[in-house]
Structures are given as C-alpha cells and as structure tokens.
Structure 1
Amino acid sequence: MKRLLLLLAFLALPVAAAPSPDQVNLDLGTPPVVIVKHGLAQRASRLVRFYDAGIIGLGYDGMVRLRDASRLNLAQRQIAEKLIDSENPDRNSLIYALAEGHGGQYWEPAVRAAQVQRWKAQWHAGWWIEDAQGQWSIKR
C-alpha cells in the first residue's frame, strides 16, 4: 500500500515543460561556446564567396549545403566540400555547447530552434536558403 501511495504521489508531480526557444540565451560566453564561435568566425570569410555565388546555401535545419556545384571545377568543389565538412560539425558543436551552458542536453531542441532562427535572420539578402520542403530560394 505504501508503494502505491508513493507511486501515485510521484505521478501527481507536475511535469516540467520542455524549454522553449524564447528561453535560450544564444550569447552565452562559456569557454566551449567561445571556442566554437571563434572557429566559425574564422571560416566565415572563406564561405562568403560561395554564398555570394549561390553555390552554398543555408539548409532549412541551419546547416550549410552545397546547392549548385555546376560552375565549380574539381579543385573548387573540393574546397567548398571541405568547408562544409568543417562548418556543419562546428554548427552542431555550438548547439551542444549552448545546451550544456543552459544546463544539459535537455535544452538541445530549444537551443537548436533558437540558433537556426538566428542563422536564418543573419543570412544576407541575395543568398540562397532552403525551406522545409527542400525548395531553394533567394533570401529577400
């Protein structure tokens, strides 16, 4: 009987709601966040020429994607792919570091949603962006 009462008391406890993107501070300055942001900032200048040319775009999930490689020779394509292969893991690392800074991986979905919103807002007009259906358009 005592176990049943304990179980019922436990089940009656309020369930904590998952954090929302509005609760996320994307400007945390924890060492892991600072390190990842530094790497992203250093790579940004090399990615800009591919963004400007429409070769690389921002995926619906906040990751960068090779959008149109038709104008690239093999060496240029390898450079673009190497940049993407470095950029996306760092973008995920930033999300994980921010989630840890908020208290743990429980925060990861909210942090991811907030960070993707920020990346989309920071995306320049004239650069390509993908919608949730996989369609590319130029950001206005």
Structure 2
Amino acid sequence: MPCRLVLLALFCLPLLATASGETINLDIGTPPVIVVKHSLAQRTSRLVRFYEAGVIGLGHDGMIKLRDASRLNLAQRQIAEKLIDNENPDRNSLIYALAEAHGGQSAEPAARRAQVRRWHEQFHSGWWIEDARGNWLRKP
C-alpha cells in the first residue's frame, strides 16, 4: 500500500512537457532550487504592495518590471527598484537551477518557458502583465 501512495504522489507532481517532449518538473527539490525559491518567497510580501498599486508588473519574459512609478516618491521608487534588482536575478537563478536539475544548459529554454508560464498563472487578478508587444494589461 505505501508503494502505491509514493507512485501516486510522483504522478501528481506538476510536470510540464515541452514541444520537444522534454518534461520539466517545476517542483523538483534540488538544493539550489530550494535555496532560490526560499529567497523569492522572502521577498514576495514586499512586492505585493507594489503589484497591487500597479507600480510594478510581470513582464512578458517573466521578469518583474517597473510599470508606473508616477505615484511614488523618491524613497518608494528606490525601494521598488531595489526589490526588482534583487528579484530578477533570483528568477533567472531559479530557471538555471531548474535547467541544471533537468540535464543542464540544454534544458534552459524549456525550463524558462515552463516557469514563465507558471508565474503568469500564479499572478493575481487585477495585477499588471506585459503582453508580447510590450503593452500592459490587467490580469482578468
């Protein structure tokens, strides 16, 4: 019976198949992935207020971008920019760690596509997302 539970758990892991048939497990638990996800999670609560205010948004490439800083004073803008400057390298590090866990540099494009898709799915309704043309739209 315990073997069946383990097998069931393995089949339930979120796996994304790429066009080339390569499968990317975004929830793989390698130490580098865990470390980067922890760093990203620690920053999330500070980013939320800027997402909700429409100041920052999710770029088409999965990176966080300053969208509208017109309502920020200098100190608030500096905080937002520093958060972005820390967030985006961690996002790239997560993608590289996922690729490494799936065979190395050749898996990086598939890992990037899969992770960007997940970030788009996880983004809250009403927050701003950039489309492929560079236009900003609120997520429905």
Give the TM bin, normalised by the shorter chain: 0.7 to 0.9
Structure 1: gaps of 5 or more residues? 1-17
Alpha-carbon RMSD: 1.4
Give 1:96-111 correspondences, 5 Å limit.
96-111=96-111
Return the alpha-carbon distance in structure 1 between the equivalents of residues 20 and 33 of structure 2: 20
d(CA) in 1 for partners of 2:21 and 2:75? Answer: 40
Query: How far off is 1:23 after superposition?
Result: 1.2
In the aligned structure 2, how far is the partner of 1:35 from the partner of 1:76?
28
The runs of at least 4 aligned residues of structure 1 exceeding 3 Å deviation read 18-22
Query: Normalised by the size of structure 2, how large is the TM-score?
Result: 0.85
Counterparts of residues 87-126 of structure 1 (less than 5 Å): 87-126=87-126
What's 1:52 paired with? 52
1:32 aligned residue? 32
Equivalent pairs counted in the alignment come to 123
Give 1:96's aligned amino acid: Y
Read off the aligned partner of 2:132 and give its amino acid letter.
A
- Calculate the TM-score normalised by the size of structure 1: 0.85
Q: Against the structure 1 CA distance between its residues 21 and 66, is the aligned structure 2 distance closer, same or farther, given a 3 Å change threshold?
A: farther
Q: Could you tell me the percent identity over the aligned residues?
A: 74
Letter in 2 for 1:35: V
Q: Which has the higher contact order (CA 8 A, sep 6+)?
A: 1
Comparing both structures, which one devotes a greater share of its residues to strand?
2
1:60-99 equivalence runs, <5 A: 60-99=60-99
Kindly name which structure, 1 or 2, has the bigger radius of gyration based on alpha carbons.
1
